[in-house]
Chains A and B, each alone.
Chain A
């Protein structure tokens, strides 16, 4: 089966860690178009991180199929930069492991640092950078791998509100500039609504996709003044659905 660059097709994914353990993911099907920005929202235990790991190829499915045009890249909540390398060398390591020839690496790393507005940080080491800067280097490193799908596992959850706000704008801009497909996992409903074109709500234990909202907002509409009230309304609606789902588990 051939598949368009950046598309993701999940069909009836079932995941359990062993034969008699509980089902983590139950019949998850998801079709993501190339260049789409999709968010998965759900409470703890909905298996959203497991689902990302499955798409990333770090975990196997029990049944069901995952189809991509190539391996995706994955970003974690922590930047997970190599502490022994400078920001620039971290990106160059990703380039090297993706088979980019030696001579092309440094200029490409500089370009990627410019893309995340860190062109002056090439020689800085991770511990010399702030949390937000580290996460931007991690974005640049993820892009360095030249994959068409970027999976993000609560990438901004550990950052303070001001930094998170900037990174929201930053990731939106990078997504537009690169046309990369993004599957974004978060606890934060507003974050999901603000960033993505489509929000999927997952149930917990077992994890299933129970509802889907098409935000469909194009660029001009997103800068409109009525947009923020639309986002708030939609976020409230999704939050209410999420709470109903959580209440189901009350004893």
Chain B
């Protein structure tokens, strides 16, 4: 049973205010700032692995274990990329590929978001269309390339079809998972505040589902990028202009192993760059804002 003192009213508002302020100060968790050293380390740390790979690679070359047309030296790969750069192909191809992937990704976002919201909030719709969406997510979107070429020829439409079929299911499924994880108390609080229809989706459902949605976007980007590479590798045409996939195919047809490895590096580098520059900061900010960072 609580003590009697609990019932003694304090002498006034200012008193209560001061007491409360003291209690608030005692109970507020202190936040810790991230040190600059730790921040620099997360920036530089991936380079350690890259350096290690380069050293091992160079050692293999010095051992002359395989001829150069099977495993080219790092310097040859560097030269091959330099030649592409001189011929104005390297940056053009990189830029084209990033632009295609970005456009496809934004388009996928626009298509997947309403689908995700509809299936996330509506159980009957989910049981009708959910399995198809999950099935599409399992299917490698490169499987659509032959069909897309027959439907659309060697055109941008073919490339975007494949990119969309890769990215849309991931984004939609991520959003659905995010909606499923919304605590019901948040939805009830929204209902009490009178959030209905579009306002409910915009102010309650989407922000509350954001962590899952973001995971879906990240996976959607990865699928968009790899689908694009598969499409570019198969759909090669002067009409399409250069892309990293086409550069890779060019290396294959010329039997130029250094160019093949160089192209693969470029594709990897873009993937890592986008993760580091776009998604990692977004993820970090989301977790920090919501107090989920460990």
Q: Which residues of A contact B (CB under 8 A)?
A: 56, 58, 71, 73-74, 76, 78, 80-85, 93-94, 96-98, 117-118, 125-133, 141, 145, 161-163, 165-166, 169-170, 173, 190, 194, 222-223, 227-228, 231-232
Contact = CB atoms under 8 A, between A and B. Distances in A.
B207 interface: yes
B186 interface: yes
A76 B189 CA distance: 9
Given A117-B17, A145-B192, 12 more contacts: A58-B192, A82-B189, A83-B289, A83-B290, A97-B193, A97-B194, A98-B193, A132-B27, A133-B28, A166-B23, A169-B9, A228-B8
Interface residues of B, number: 38
Contacts of B139: none
B185 A222 contact: no
Give 10 nearest A-B pairs by CB, closest first.
A127-B291, A130-B27, A80-B189, A228-B7, A83-B290, A80-B185, A97-B193, A74-B192, A84-B207, A97-B194
Contacts of B291: 83, 125-128
Contact of B13 (A80, A94, A133, A173): A173
15 contacts: A58-B188, A76-B185, A78-B185, A82-B189, A82-B204, A84-B207, A94-B193, A96-B203, A97-B195, A127-B29, A132-B27, A145-B193, A166-B23, A169-B16, A194-B7
A133 B290 contact: no
Contacts of A126: 291
Contacts of B9: 169, 222-223
Given A76-B188, A127-B290, A97 B199 contact: yes
A128 B31 contact: yes
Contacts of A117: 16-17, 20-21
Interface in B175-199: 185-186, 188-189, 191-195, 199
B203 A166 contact: no
B55 interface: no
Chain B binding site: helix, strand, loop or mixed by DSSP?
Answer: helix
Contact of A84 (B10, B19, B31, B208): B208
B186 A80 contact: yes
B196 to A, nearest CB: 9
A132 B24 contact: yes
Contacts of A98: 193-194
A127 B292 CA distance: 9
B67 interface: no
B3 to A, nearest CB: 9
Contact of A93 (B1, B8, B185, B193): B193
